[in-house]
Structure 1
Amino acid sequence: MTAADTGIAHHEPTVRPVEPDPWAAVAPLVTAAQSGDVMAVNDLLNLLTPYVSRLCRPIALGDSADAVQESLIAVFQGLPKLKDPTALYAWVRTITVREALKVARRSRRETPVAEFFDELPGPRSTELASDVHDVLRRLSSEHRAVLTLRELEGLDERSASRLLNISCGTVKSRLHRARNSFRKAWTR
């Protein structure tokens, strides 16, 4: 007896296409770039630039373009020394956060960049973006870096401490102070 004879429809399981993960296939690209393949370097640059930009915006604020440039320069200068091409994502994040902090510290003025708010989830009202923009502007670059790593990147305190090259206690302290400062400024 078949499914048609019983009146029961038989459905094959639907196979949904999996979204390609650009980081999963990056190892061969890294290896090719390390060996001098100019097209691989270009492809790698196209892959990394949006990610580096997303990390630099909330940390370096008004100087995020400089931070992106400094980060990408450091990444490509250090690329030949990267021993594990599958570690590119974490390696780039480490370099980017450190370079963004350097640029933010060098800057005497800290004028936020509006594009950061294009990345914020949830309602995208101009008023909300302006309020968040104002509150972030008041935080130090160190506090913005800890918030970015914790809230945007989802890193735990131990991972953030390794990345920032500071103690776990310092990360916890900065995160606590940054959140408190943000809350106080937000409620005013």
Structure 2
Amino acid sequence: MPDERSDDRSVRLVRAAQRGDTLAMAELVDLLAPYVGRVCSAIALDQGADAAQEALVAVFRSLRTLKDPGALRGWVRAIAVREAVRVAHRAARTVPADLSALPARGDPQLAADIRDVLDRLSPEHRAVLMLRDVEGLDERTAAALLGVRTGTVKSRLHRARDTFRKAWTS
């Protein structure tokens, strides 16, 4: 899903899925799953797959309420962020993260070090870092997705970056 507005194909798929077309729903899952997975993994870390699954379920339960199929990407992102934060909070209350299942991209030790530092951040801080620094959203858009004020996003982002920096250098 390369840009903020959905393309003609995804708009057609949404409309067909809203009418109950199961093949269109399956195509939408194939289209949305990688994006939802990236968003959820950045926030929920080891619980990213669970968060992505819950986000996709929420998307398809609510698909009929989507009034503008062209806004699919932003709508899905909002749901994915909300579910990832919820799942990350739930996971934080149970067990610490297991660093043995880190992705093998690039330098494995670097990935492990970054993952370790991210594990120390709260889900809200990971969410704001992901939305601003990975997704490239502005503060206003990130605030709307997180359901907080713009000033809250700015302060969380400052604290998240500061905490990350301090943990990284220690």
Aligned to 1:41: 25
Counterpart residue type for residue 163 of structure 2: S
Shift of 1:128: 1.1
Could you say which residue in structure 1 is the equivalent of 2:131? 149
Give the TM-score of the pair, scaled to structure 2: 0.90
Instruction: Quote the residue 2:58 is aligned against.
Output: 74
Equivalent residue letter for 1:114: L
- The 2-side partners of 1:106 and 1:135 are apart by 19
Of 143, 152, 162 in structure 2, the residue corresponding to residue 170 of structure 1 is 152
Structure 2 residue runs of 5 or longer lacking an equivalent are: none
Counterpart contact for 2:6–2:71, Cα < 8 Å: no
Matched, 1:114 2:114: no
Partner of 2:121: 139
Q: What's the secondary structure of 2:67's corresponding residue? A: coil
**Matching residue's letter, 2:154:** K
Distance in 1, Cα, partners of 2:78 & 2:69: 15
* Greater Cα radius of gyration, structure 1 or 2: 1
Distance in 2, Cα, partners of 1:171 & 1:78: 27
Q: CA deviation at 1:178?
A: 0.3
Q: Tell me how far 1:114 sits from its aligned partner.
A: 2.1
Unaligned runs of at least 5 residues, structure 1: 1-19, 119-123
Deviation, structure 1 residue 134: 1.1
Match of 1:7 in 2: none
Retained in 2: the 8 A contact 1:67–1:99?
A: yes
User: Retained in 2: the 8 A contact 1:150–1:156?
Assistant: yes
Checking the alignment, whether the CA contact within 8 Å between 1:160 and 1:171 is kept in structure 2 is yes
Alpha-carbon distance, 1:168 to partner? 0.7
SS of the aligned residue for 2:49 comes to helix
- Kept in 2, the 8 Å contact 1:104–1:110? The answer is no
Match of 1:127 in 2: 109
Rounded to whole Å, the distance in 2 between the matches of 1:125 and 1:168 is: 36
Residue 142 (structure 2) aligned to one of 141, 155, 160: 160
Provide the aligned C-alpha RMSD in A.
1.8
Is the 8 Å Cα contact of residues 6 and 69 (structure 2) preserved in structure 1? no
Name the aligned partner's letter for residue 19 of structure 2: S
TM-score after normalising by structure 1 = 0.82
Hey, which of these two has a bigger chunk of helix by percent?
Answer: 2
CA-CA distance at 1:171 after TM superposition = 0.5
Matched residues in 2 for 1:158 and 1:110: separation?
32
